[in-house]
Amino acid sequence: MKRISVLIGVLGVLFATAAGAQTYPTKPIRIVAPFPPGGVADVLARAIQPGLQEALGQQVIIENKPGAGGNIGADLVAKADPDGYTLLLASAGILTINEFLYSKMPFDPAKAFAPITVVGDMPNIVVVNPKTGLKTLKALIDKAKAEPGKLNFGSAGNGTTTHLAVVLLEQAAKIKLAHVPYKGAAPAVQDLVAGQIDGLVDNPPLVIGHIRNGTLTALAWAAPQRMAILPDVPTAAEAGLPGFEASSWFALVAPAGTPKEIVDRLNAATAKILKDPKMVEQFAARGVRLVGNSVASFTAFIPPERARWGEIVKTSGVKLD
């Protein structure tokens, strides 16, 4: 009798979940952006907000929950009910890097989330102050080999993707650079323009204007192909350094256990928004590529990224606690 009662209870939960998925959504949806307002995660979340509201017929609320490299906001979503009403605009760091930087994580990135789609990514670009006299990536590598540790490269802070991109550059080129961490990318760019540091490996939005007006020199894209926003800048492979690829990407995920029907609906709605020509053009002008891939494609993308960045972090010895 007890076994029958348990079975009835389980079936009741399954039927309730199925019914909920079929009628989803029936109330407002919250997207947690785990970084401060104005950052890329926040901008991307707010960019898809109107389209999701229209497609789903419910209000979509963006909530900023910054802190601990995005872990605070991510943990909130990881522990939320898997019903499709609390989502996360996650960074590459949250899903593939932070677990190697922090000795204690409040959640397991490999198990805590249901992938929906990659929203956008930004290939990094190697830039230097013109006063260095460096015009090519080869010249940078040659100088760094001749004078190990003399060139100062900034970053948005220890353990950030801009820091790890410098580490990857060092590893790929077998050179040694002096790392100068800042509290954010903006002050690092400011000091680079002022000549206080020699270079950065950064995302396009903060450096595009400086490249165009000549206050910074672009050496190479850390990407498999050139970007239309700066078509004359070669890829690292074209510049003689194959394998140096680093980008900052952001993706929409739900708590693990969210019904497939809900995940698929969110994927379809978001992918459609990200294919809008006007939005594609708007973000391309900032150096951001909108993606909107399938659930299967996104799911397959994560493990090799986690393995690659895990090896880079372990080799570098970078730790944040």
Task: Give me the tens of pLDDT residue by residue for the chain, a chain 321 residues long.
Answer: 555 665 565 555 555 555 557 789 999 999 999 988 888 889 999 999 999 999 999 999 999 999 988 999 999 999 999 999 999 999 999 999 999 999 999 999 999 999 999 999 999 999 999 999 999 999 999 999 999 999 999 998 888 889 999 999 999 999 999 999 998 888 999 999 999 999 999 999 889 999 999 999 999 999 999 999 999 999 999 999 999 999 999 999 999 999 999 999 999 999 999 999 999 999 999 899 999 999 999 999 999 999 999 999 998 888 987
CATH of region 123-222: 3.40.190.10
- Rounded to whole angstroms, the Cα distance separating 211 from 217 reads 6
- Rounded to whole angstroms, the Cα distance separating 199 from 177 reads 10
H/E/C letters for each residue in 168-237? HHHHHHCCCCEEEECCCHHHHHHHHHHCCCCEEEECHHHCHHHHHCCCCEEEEEECCCCCCCCCCCCECC
Secondary structure (DSSP) of 246-288: -EEEEEEEEETT--HHHHHHHHHHHHHHHT-HHHHHHHHTTT-
- Rounded to whole angstroms, the Cα distance separating 270 from 49 reads 9
- Indicate the domain borders of the chain: 2-121+248-316, 123-222
Strands 289-290 and 113-128 come out as antiparallel
| Contact between 295 and 263 (Cβ < 8 Å) | yes
Right CATH number for 2-121+248-316 from 3.40.47.10, 3.40.190.150, 3.30.450.20, 3.40.50.10190?
A: 3.40.190.150
Report how far apart, in Å, the C-alpha atoms of 105 and of each of 88, 110, 313 are.
17, 12, 16
Token code pair at residue 310:
């895990």
Domains 2-121+248-316 and 123-222 share a fold: yes
Q: What is the pLDDT of residue 8?
A: 60
Q: What is the pLDDT of residue 5?
A: 61
Q: Which 3 state secondary structure label does DSSP give 53?
A: helix
- Of 194, 147, 202, nearest in space to 169 by CA: 202
- Rounded to whole angstroms, the Cα distance separating 31 from 113 reads 14
